[in-house]
Amino acid sequence: MSLEELAFIVLAAVALFTAVAALLVRELVHTILWIAVFFVDISAIYFLLEAPFLGVLQLGVYAGAVTVLLLFGVMLTRKRIFSREAVTGLDAVPLSLAVVTFIFVVTAVGQLPQSSETLSVYDPTLLSQNLFGTNGPWLLLLGLLMMGAVAGSIYLVREGRE
């Protein structure tokens, strides 16, 4: 087993563990700490996949901005931020639905090459050319979407309604 494969197995295990832990712990602040670890771990997977730009973006947007946004959401919606959630048990129907979805998706594995494949390495310069050239319209659409989201968020939380 090569060092990269070992790194992948460790990162995958950490990602799964933190995702499950984030959804099962009872204090919402602890959830956000676990999800921050999850985001950093996914960023490490991007670095492993030779996509350093995406890794940095994941760190900045997810581990930075989204985590802080979620923390603000918790702070603004409860009086004591360390109060506990009510227990929601492991219901059979959602659990079995998730397991069935996992099996359904993972059967695609049989169609894929089973051996280790060599990664393609791309220069970030080429990525920026692709992003702002060929895929430029998508980036513009994303900007429009963000503007709409800002307007919608302000509309939702505006003062003096009811």
Partner 1 sequence: MTALPLVGFVALSSALFAVGLFGILTRRNFILVLIAIEIAMNAAILNFVYFGAFSNGTAGLTGQAVAVVLIGFAATEVAVGLAIVLALNRVKGTINVAQANELKL
Residues 58-77 that bind partner 1 (CB under 8 A): 58, 61-62, 65-66, 69-70, 72-74, 76-77
- Residue 83, interface with partner 1 (CB under 8 A)? no
Residue nearer to partner 1 on the CB measure, 82 or 130:
130
Residue nearer to partner 1 on the CB measure, 82 or 119:
119
Tell me the closest approach of the beta carbon of residue 4 to partner 1, in angstroms. Answer: 5
Site string for partner 1, 112-131 (x = CB under 8 A): xxxxxxxxxxx---xx--xx
Count Cα neighbours of 99 within 13 Å in the Cβ-side half-sphere: 7
What does the alpha-carbon distance between residue 59 and residue 66 come to, in Å, rounded to a whole number? 10
Tell me the closest approach of the beta carbon of residue 49 to partner 1, in angstroms. Answer: 5
**Are 34 and 18 in contact, with CB atoms under 8 Å apart?**
yes
Amino acid at 67: T
- Residue 82, interface with partner 1 (CB under 8 A)? no
What does the alpha-carbon distance between residue 43 and residue 11 come to, in Å, rounded to a whole number? 10
Q: Compute φ and ψ for 27, nearest 5 degrees.
A: -100, 130
Burial class of residue 153 (count of CB atoms within 10 Å of its CB; 0-12, 13-18, 19+): exposed
Site string for partner 1, 6-35 (x = CB under 8 A): --xx--x--xx--xx-xx----x--xx--x
Residue nearer to partner 1 on the CB measure, 76 or 80:
76
- Residue 5, interface with partner 1 (CB under 8 A)? yes
What does the alpha-carbon distance between residue 113 and residue 110 come to, in Å, rounded to a whole number? 8
Tell me the closest approach of the beta carbon of residue 158 to partner 1, in angstroms. Answer: 9
